[in-house]
């Protein structure tokens, strides 16, 4: 997500910022602006570049904009679910982008429908709009706060009305969100790498439970729901975020490197070279190599022009995707005992293909080292791993998994090791991580009946 308040090139800047966030999803993109009592929206399924041409950006005039890169999780596929959502009415109109997942969406939607709301999409984002509307025709901070108090789950929201932009984060701060400044304008982004690309300066990270109002008269922060300790998604550090972003003032590359170092301490092995799976595992592989005194080599090359494999809808397509995406470097791996570091295993598709690939390229041994713990629990907070059946480590023992992927050995980082690698540099006790998919300790209570059914 990205938003900007008070810049004459609002849409263009939003476009470039979203470009820096493209890794967060490849399923859709959209931007909305407002000027002279008119809302201008363009969005579609696909990559940012396919969705926007120069002409379309020029039509999006105005000094304020919010935009989003869409990442499909659950059933939210298709045009109708691509954001921003724009809800127009005679009095106050409202544009919304959202990242995360509302866990009591099912119950809330039922309640709202029973009291007369008509939903346009399956997306949980729309819930907030209906909840706000229920407070009356005029949209203000109070109406938004009351609406947010009904919502349970992981959420980061950007909302735009005719006269201000609101920024909200769930009480646990599960999804990342930062505020910055670009000349006289305020900007908000999921990751700080978006600020770097547009030349904005990061001011602060939105704190758990904050509701921020940004308007021409400045910025106003208020904590509306507070928990003692933030529980930022650990998967953001492991895989999702870009290495040049900082989360909770911890650099993502540095955290990944420490995960690799820690992994080498926990699971060393006699080998000749260490290689990583580009791009998200490179930092951890470098750390592993450094800590085990082995050379780090580029043993796998990534074709830049193929999208992220995980995000394609079917298993069959995912399997094809992996082959299109990676090639082994024969001259490096042939005859060698290779440590192959990957950031995570979710369904097991990637690891199996890569081990086969390295062996076909002549590797004498392939030792798989995963720089995060085994994913044994579904995520209910917006990362696409929603059922236990699809999770490799939830269905097999370590030995079985090692066998299935055809590796000579397999080891994961411990949950304690992960936590240490992430929070090592912060002495701030209010900073913590969500690691529910590894440990089953869900930070947000299991309010939803759907959630209870899934975890049972």
> Per rule CB under 6 A, is residue 379 in the interface with ligand SF4?
yes
Asked whether residue 379 is marked as a ligand-binding residue, the answer is yes
Nearer to ligand 5GP, 13 or 277 (CB): 277
Q: Is 140 annotated as a binding residue?
A: no
Query: C-beta of 157: minimal distance to ligand SF4 in Å?
Result: 16
Smallest gap from Cβ 218 to ligand 5GP, in A, equals 37
Comparing C-alpha atoms, which of 11, 60, 222, 28 is closest to residue 125? 28
CB 400 within 8 A of CB 234: no
Rounded CA-CA distance 304/325 in Å is 8
- Output 92 or 342, the one with its CB closest to ligand 5GP: 342
| Shortest reach from residue 277's CB to Mg ion, in Å | 5
Show the binding pattern over residues 273-302: x = contacts Mg ion (CB under 5 A), - = does not. Answer: ----x-------------------------
Contacts of 35 (CB under 8 A, 6+ apart): 61, 62, 63
Closer residue to ligand 5GP, CB minimum distance, 6 or 307: 307
With respect to ligand SF4, which residue has the nearer C-beta, 102 or 436?
436
Any residues with CB less than 8 A from the CB of 276 and at least 6 apart, and which? 282, 283, 284, 285, 286, 296, 300, 340, 341, 342
Q: How, if at all, do strands 165-169 and 153-160 pair?
A: antiparallel
Does 193 belong to an annotated binding site?
Answer: no
Is 164 annotated to bind a ligand? Reply is no
Which residue number is nearest to ligand 5GP in terms of Cβ? 310
Q: Name the region of 131 (left: φ>0; alpha: ψ -120 to 50; beta: rest).
A: alpha
Residue 344 touches which of ligand SF4, Mg ion, ligand 5GP, none (Cβ within 5-8 Å per kind): ligand 5GP
Binding site for ligand 5GP (CB under 6 A): 235, 239, 277, 280, 308, 310, 342-351, 383-384
Is 342 one of the annotated binding-site residues?
yes
Q: Does 421 bind ligand SF4 (CB under 6 A)?
A: no
Q: Select from Mg ion, ligand 5GP, ligand SF4, none the partner in contact with residue 436, using the beta carbon and a kind-dependent cut-off of 5 to 8 Å.
A: ligand SF4
The yes or no reply on residue 212 touching ligand SF4 (CB under 6 A) is: no
Terminal Cα distance for the chain, rounded: 33
83 binds, among ligand 5GP, ligand SF4, Mg ion, none (CB under 5 to 8 A by kind): none
The C-alpha atoms of residue 345 and residue 380 are separated, in whole angstroms, by 18
**Residue nearer to ligand SF4 on the CB measure, 189 or 379:** 379
Choose from ligand 5GP, Mg ion, ligand SF4, none: what does 191 bind? Cβ within 5-8 Å by kind. none
280 labeled part of a ligand binding site: yes
Binding mask 213-252 for ligand SF4 (x = CB under 6 A): --------------------xxx-----------------
Question: Which residues, numbered 172-191, are part of the site for ligand SF4 (CB under 6 A)?
Answer: 174
Report the C-alpha dihedral over residues 159, 162, 163, 167, rounded to 10 degrees.
Answer: 0
User: CB-wise, 275 or 349, nearer to ligand 5GP?
Assistant: 349
Nearer to Mg ion, 187 or 277 (CB): 277
Question: What residues are designated binding site for Mg(2+)?
Answer: 280, 342-343
Binding residues for [4Fe-4S] cluster: 233, 379, 434, 437
Judged by the rule CB under 5 A, the positions of this chain that interact with Mg ion are: 277
Binding footprint of ligand SF4 on the chain (CB under 6 A) = 174, 233-235, 379, 381, 383, 434-437
């Amino acid at each position: 997500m990205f938003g900007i308040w008070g810049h004459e090139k609002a849409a263009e800047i939003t476009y470039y910022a979203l470009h820096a966030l493209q890794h967060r999803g490849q399923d859709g993109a959209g931007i909305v602006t407002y000027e002279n009592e008119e809302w201008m929206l363009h969005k579609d399924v696909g990559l940012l570049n396919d969705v926007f041409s120069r002409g379309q950006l020029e039509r999006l005039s105005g000094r304020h904009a919010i935009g989003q890169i869409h990442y499909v999780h659950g059933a939210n596929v298709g045009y109708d679910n691509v954001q921003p959502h724009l809800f127009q009415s005679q009095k106050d109109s409202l544009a919304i982008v959202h990242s995360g997942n509302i866990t009591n969406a099912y119950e809330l939607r039922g309640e709202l429908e029973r009291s007369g709301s008509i939903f346009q999409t399956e997306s949980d984002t729309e819930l907030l709009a209906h909840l706000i509307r229920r407070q009356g025709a005029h949209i203000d901070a109070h109406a938004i706060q009351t609406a947010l108090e009904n919502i349970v789950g992981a959420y980061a929201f950007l909302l735009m009305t005719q006269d201000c932009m609101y920024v909200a984060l769930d009480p646990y701060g599960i999804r990342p969100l930062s505020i910055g400044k670009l000349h006289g304008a305020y900007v908000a982004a999921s990751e700080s790498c978006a600020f770097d690309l547009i030349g904005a300066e990061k001011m602060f990270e939105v704190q758990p439970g904050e509701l921020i109002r940004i308007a021409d008269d400045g910025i106003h922060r208020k904590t509306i729901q507070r928990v003692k300790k933030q529980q930022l998604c650990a998967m953001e550090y492991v895989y999702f975020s870009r290495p040049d972003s900082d989360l909770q003032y911890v650099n993502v590359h540095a955290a990944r490197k420490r995960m690799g170092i820690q992994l080498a301490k926990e699971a060393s092995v006699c080998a000749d070279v260490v290689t990583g799976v580009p791009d998200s595992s490179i930092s951890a592989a470098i750390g592993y190599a450094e800590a085990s005194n082995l050379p780090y080599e580029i043993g796998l090359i990534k074709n830049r022009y193929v999208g992220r494999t995980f995000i394609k809808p079917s298993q069959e397509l995912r399997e094809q995707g992996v082959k299109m995406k990676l090639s082994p470097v024969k001259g490096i791996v042939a005859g060698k005992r290779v440590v192959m570091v990957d950031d995570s295993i979710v369904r097991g598709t990637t690891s199996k293909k890569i081990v086969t690939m390295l062996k076909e390229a002549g590797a004498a041994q392939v030792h798989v080292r995963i720089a995060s713990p085994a994913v044994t629990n579904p995520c209910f907070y917006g990362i696409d791993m929603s059922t236990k059946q699809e999770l490799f480590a939830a269905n097999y023992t370590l030995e079985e998994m090692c066998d299935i992927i055809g590796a000579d050995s397999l080891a994961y980082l411990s949950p304690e090791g992960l936590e240490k690698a992430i929070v090592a540099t912060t002495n701030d006790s209010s900073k913590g991580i969500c690691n529910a998919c590894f440990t089953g300790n869900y930070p947000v209570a299991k309010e939803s009946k759907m959630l209870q059914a899934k975890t049972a």
